[in-house]
Structures are given as C-alpha cells and as structure tokens.
Structure 1
Amino acid sequence: MLKKQFFTAAILFSALSVVPTIADDNVTLATASSGGSYYPVGVALATIVTEKLADKGIRLSPITTAGSAENVDLVRGNEAPMAIMMGLYGRDGFTGTGTREGRPAVTNLRSIASLWQNYEQFVIRADKVKSGDLSDLTQLGSQFSVGPRNSGTEGTSRIVLGAVGVDVNHDFLPVNMKYAAAAEAFQNNRLGGLSASGGIPTPSVSQLFVTSGDDMRLLKVTDEQLEKISEASGGLFTRAIIPVGTYQGQTDAVETLKQPNFMAVSADLSDDTVYEITKVMFENLDQLKAAHSAAAAINLETAMDGLPVPLHPGAIRFYEEKGMTVPDALRP
C-alpha cells in the first residue's frame, strides 16, 4: 500500500534510497491546492474510478499538492503514480530541460490524456492599473502572490513575466500563497495582486470578482507580449480569451494566454490498471464535467492533442480499441 503521509519532494527523495513499489489496488492521484481546477476534477475522477473499479481491486485516492512542479517529483518517485500537471512541466520533466534544468530527466513519466487548457490570469488592484496589460506589474511595488511554492503557477509566472521584462524579484515583492489564501489576502488589502493559472472560471478568481470586483482588474496580454512569451516557452503558450460573463460582473473580454494540462502517469503502473482507469474516465465524462466547468473540454477526439510526453501502453490499448491512430511520437 502507498504511504498515506506525504512530504515535500525535497525531504521525501532525500529520505528514500529506492523507488517504492506501486500498489495497483490503491493509486494516489496528485492534484494541486483546493482553490484551482485540478483538485475538484481529481476528486471527481477518484470517486468515479473507485466506484466503478473497486470490484477489480482498483481505487484512486486524490491528494492536494503544491501543483505541477511537485507533481513531477511525486510521479518520479512513484509516491503519486498519477497526477494532473501543466504541459510545460511534463515536457521539461521528461527532458530534464527548462524548468527542470540541471535535474535528472523523469524517464518514467507517461501520459494518459490531454485535459483542458490552463488560462493564465494576473490580478492587480484597480488603482495600480496604468496600461491594463502585464507591463503594469513593473510598477506594482507591493506584495504579489506568484502561486504556491514549487507549483506550476510559480514557475509559469516567472517564465511569463520574465519574458515581457517584469523583474519578479524587484518590481514587486513575490510571495507564495495558495489560491484561496491569496484571494482572501487581496480582499483584506494585504496583497497588491496575484497570479492564478487554471481552467475558467477559476474558483479563487470567482471569489475575487464577488468580494472585490470594484477593486481588482484582470490584466490583458498584448500581441507583442504574447510573441515574446511564446518564444521564451518554445511555443507552448497560445492566445486565449476569457469571455465576457465568465466571472460575476465581468463586462469586458480579457485577452490572455493558455497552455495545456494533461493526465500524467508513471510508466511503472501496470498496463491493465491504466487501461481500466482510462476507459472509465472516458465512459463517465458527464460526471467528471459536473465537477468543474474546465472539464467540459475533455473529450475523446482531442485526447492526444498537445501531449508533451509519450502515452502509457495501457492508454494506447484503450485508444486503439476505439479505432484511433496513435502517432509514433506518442509511443514510448
């Protein structure tokens, strides 16, 4: 059985000298903090899998984590052999480049399916808005939450803002807070802004529109800024629009950027277990989509779109049973 107590990746891997054996009867799913979209979708998937596959000895247990960066390490050590993560961290983890530069490549990282797009959202106080785009962060001069420590949001914030000339360590005071805590701190005038990466509507941003709508603004990303960000990320980020009415009181569409999320899995998990989980996930999409509006984007037709790492053989088996062609680039 998997350990029920989880520690930070740094402590965990310094303490372990061998990779733990995966128990296929109780698979741990790493999500993120409760204020984003990973957690509610992960809980819903775990409920579906446990309900449908318990008679086959397969159960899925969700845990909260700091997010994508930590999830890569949890998959690497098989402490959480399944995880939801950003495409950026999956790609960099598998290749040992970019955000994982100087660290070992996570060679056991595989994918199950593409999920939904993460919308990058940058919130600041209304009285700090000058141009209304990311350049306003160069003059913020107060505390700004870049996301939980060791999270995908933190890494993404630093890449995105650095690409457009925002000095994260000098233009504002970066702090690491979970989404819900950051929203509360903003509401209580303890933050000048925050970064939230997730499917829309993102719960913590929804909370801000309700409690602080007159005092906050979502910054836009200009075409010029998007070009610089795309170049810095190897083309991973693309244009996204947050439509009018996504959030309560939002009267203008917001031009931002997005990157894909995907369901990651350890290569060490058995083919049969991954096949069954993949099959159950796609056979119960209505229940999954009811957990969070971001999950509405999950569908079989786009399941292999934008995957940054090879598919697990168990997932390949499912797709081929459905008559789908698996690209050679996605075969391990």
Structure 2
Amino acid sequence: MSAGRFPTLCPLVTACALLVGSVATLADDRAGWPEEVLLGTASLGGTYQVYGDGLVTRLIDELGVEAVSQATGGPYHNMTLVHTGVADLGLVTLGPARELWDGEAEFAPGEEMRDVRALFPMYQTPFHVVTLAGSGVESIADLSGKRVGVGPMGGTCAAYWPQFLEALGVEDVHLQYAGANHLTDYLTSRLSDAFAFCAGLPIGAFERLERRREVHMFGLTEQQQATLLESFPVSPFEIPADVYASMDAPHASVAFWNFAIGHKDLPESFVYEVMKLVLDHPEAMEAIHPAAAETRAEHLDKNSVIWFHPGAVRYYEEQGLEVPTAMLPPEMRPDEEAEDAADVAADDASDETPSDTAD
C-alpha cells in the first residue's frame, strides 16, 4: 500500500471505528428496553386520549420504539395496568393515584399499588360543566334531580363529581357513566341534562359540542370552591374566559395535577430518554395539546404521592432540580431511609391479600 493513500484511509478507518462505537453504545443504552410500549390513556374525546396519542407518535418517530396507546377507564385503570405490568406507561391524576398508592381505593381495599413510578408533570385537570342553552340548568345547584354525565367508570371525573355534588348539597342526581364523546351525544339527543367533566383545557368533546349546538358552560361559586378546597386534596383553579367561544367570563374551579407514570422495572435509560423527549421540547408537546403548556420539569414538586423513577430523577438532577428525598425510590435514598422503606414494603407484602382488579 502506498504511503500516499494513508491520509485518505486513516480518516475513513477512524470514522468507521467511531460509527461502530456509536452503534455499540446505542445498543448498550437500549439494553432491556421493552420490545413494545403500551401507554394507557382514557376515554375517546378526552384530553388524555389526545395527549397520549401524540406522545406515542413521538416515541415511534423520535425514539424509534414500537408504541401503542390504549383507551382505558382513566387514572384508576392506568395505575392498575402499570402496577401489574400490563401497561408500561400511563397517565394519572394525583387524586386517584393517591388512593391506589395508599391502598384506599374502594375496588381494591388494602392493596397498595407501589410498583408504579412517577415520570413527568403533564397539566392540571379542572372540573366544569356544559349544558345545552335554554335547558334551564345554569349552575351547580340546578343539577339536583337532573341526569348528569360524569365520564367513564374508573375515571377521575366519575370518582370525584359524585363526591363533590354530595359535599355541595346537590341531591338526587341521576349519574350517567360513559366516555366523553358518548356523553356529548347524550346531551344533543336530550338523554342527559348536563355533562360534568374534568380534563386538560380545552376539552375536545366540549369544543365539538359547542360547534354543533348553542351551549352554556359553568363552574363553581366562590363558596362552592372553598367548600371543595376544604374537603378534598385539590387546588384552586380559574378557567380562563377565552378557552371556549361560549364563555364570556372566567369560571372558578378546582383541579388535580396529572403525571405520566411508568412501571418501576423500566430501564433507567429508557425513562431518561422519554423525559428528554418530552421536557426538552415543550413546543412539540404543546402542538399536540394546549394543556401541555404546563408540561414543565419545574412542576415536579406538584407530585407528593408517587416515588419518581430513577431515570426521571437523573433527568431532573441534570436540570439542576432537586427531587425531595421522600419522592426518591427506596434504592436511591440514604441507607437508613432506604432500609426503613424496605421494611415497610416487606410488612405490606406480608399483609397483602389477593386482588381481582387487574385487567
């Protein structure tokens, strides 16, 4: 080989070596990644469905993983699916998540679903109501004796609207359980008097309804808001007047924060890449749904329920954000605290009774 060919060959060999090294590193980084990722969302027509479908598309297009979104009953269902390993990822509101985390859910009493880990904050879910204009239902008090859709069984709205109405002294409500799209059809067919829902704003089903019919939307009075804030683990929220064309003034409401969750055994590298995908490019998530304006790393402090996944902790720490010790998974805590958490988990396991809640 002539000496004159070395200057050309050496860079080529170097580039090939770097390429091989990069491929090897990529393969190492993806070791243990799930072959297919299943993400639990909620009913069609709700914000979870739009947000989750968009996230799955980004996982496929930008991370190159096989991913599927699955319509579910919502947060209670998603916590169960992720805890049992049926789903890899899910979307939850922290109210239902706390019930299942602490073993206080009515359908699974005593079963603490702690094989779930928190990933990233999504947005807040406020509660509000839509009716057809001229229906005579114009406020929360008017719901007494009426047929009211509250979302699908197992969803946040279906779980909390009945409790809210009881706390506010609204009696004899005939509750209807179905997905968001179905409940808007109930309204237009006069099979319902009102649709009381909760989701990230704007709610697609509400928007479609107001394009088809004249509607009336309302939230809470200040006194009703104060009553719910005192009685439930919710935050005050104001629905802006410009969210829907049918609104001409802000509505008082209350809200839960939503977080994405994953199974505790998901590889750290996979979760870390999901965190980067979502939080490094907020504009891409906002293009999926406007509610993602709140999908920001600094809102990690809104989660005081579910331990964060190590891959999420790594991401937050690289952003200069501190995850509270109480929200670290046991394996990442100081030795003494980790031992205490392990003892609690062992005690819980010894007391655990079989459950038939998993799908």
Fold conserved (TM > 0.5)? yes
Identify the residue that residue 230 of structure 2 maps to in structure 1: 231
Unaligned runs of 5+ in 1: 1-21
Kindly, what percent of the aligned residue pairs are identical?
Answer: 23
Normalising by the residue count of structure 1, what TM-score does the alignment of the two structures yield? 0.83
**What is the deviation of 1:99?**
5.5
Within 2, Cα distance between the matches of 1:326 and 1:256? 29
Q: Does 1:152 align with 2:135?
A: no
Deviation string, structure 1 residues 145-171 (Cα, Å, up to 9, x no partner)? 12112222200212222221224xxx2
Aligned to 1:29: 39
Which sections of structure 2, spanning at least 5 residues, go unmatched?
Answer: 1-31, 330-359
2:126/2:255 contact within 8 Å kept: yes
Going from structure 1 to structure 2, the CA distance change for 1:212 and 1:103 (only over 3 Å counts) comes to farther
Could you tell me which of 133, 139, 145 is aligned with 1:133?
A: 139
Equivalents in 1 of 2:281, 2:240: separation in Å? 28
How many residues are treated as equivalent by the alignment?
298
TM-score with structure 2 setting the length? 0.77
The question of whether the paired residues in 1 share the 8 Å contact of 2:73 and 2:154 is answered with: yes
Contact 1:119–1:256 (CA<8 Å) still a contact in 2? yes
1:281 to 275, 278, 282: 278
Taking the aligned partners of 2:263 and 2:170, their CA distance within structure 1 comes to: 36
Residues 48/304 of structure 1: CA separation in 2 closer, same or farther (3 Å cut): farther
Structure 1 segment 42-57 matched on structure 2, within 5 A: 42-54=52-64
* SS of residue matched to 2:165: helix
Counterparts of 1:92-241 in structure 2, within 5 Å, are 92-97=99-104, 102-127=109-134, 129=136, 132-140=138-146, 143-167=147-171, 171-213=172-214, 216-233=215-232, 236-241=233-238
Q: Deviations over 1:60-114 (max 9, x none)?
A: 3211111112111111211112111111011111111255662411011210011
1:90 aligns with 2:97: yes
The answer to whether the 8 A contact 1:226-1:238 is kept is no
* Structure 2 counterpart of 1:70, from 56, 69, 77: 77
In structure 2, distance between residues paired with 1:135 and 1:99: 27
Shift of 1:316: 0.4
AA aligned opposite 2:80 = D
Q: Is the 8 A contact 2:119 2:312 kept in 1?
A: yes
Contact 1:241 1:253 in 2 (8 A): yes
CA–CA separation in structure 1 for the residues paired with 2:318 and 2:68: 27
Choose which of 295, 301, 304 in structure 2 pairs with 1:298.
295
| 2:104/2:111 contact within 8 Å kept | no
Q: Tell me the secondary structure at the aligned position of residue 147 of structure 1.
A: coil
Distance in 1 (alpha carbons) for counterparts of 2:304 and 2:169: 29
For the residue of structure 2 that corresponds to 1:72, the secondary structure is: helix
Aligned to 2:8: none
CA contact (8 A) 1:85 1:262 kept: yes
Aligned amino acid, residue 220 of structure 2: V
2-side partners of 1:260 and 1:269: how far apart? 23
CA drift at 1:271: 1.6
Large movers: runs of 4+ above 6 Å: none
Determine which structure has the larger helix proportion and give its number. 2
User: Is the Cα–Cα contact under 8 Å of residues 210 and 248 in structure 1 kept in the other structure?
Assistant: no
Q: Is the 8 A contact 1:70 1:150 kept in 2?
A: yes
Aligned to 2:15: none
**CA deviations over 1:131-187 (Å, ceiling 9, x no partner):** x432221242xx2212112222200212222221224xxx23211111111112211
Aligned-partner Cα distance in 2 for 1:254–1:129: 19
**Equivalent residue for 1:4?**
none
SS state at 1:229 partner: helix
**What SS class does the counterpart of residue 118 from structure 2 fall into?**
strand
Structure 1, residues 7-46: CA drift from partner, whole Å, max 9, x if none? xxxxxxxxxxxxxxx9613111101112111111111111
Q: For the residues of structure 2 that align with 1:99 and 1:87, how far apart are their CA atoms?
A: 16
CA contact (8 A) 2:145 2:174 kept: no
| SS of aligned partner of 2:213 | helix
Q: Distance in 2 between matches of 1:154 and 1:308?
A: 21
Amino acid at match of 1:51: D
Deviation at 1:129, TM superposition (A): 4.3
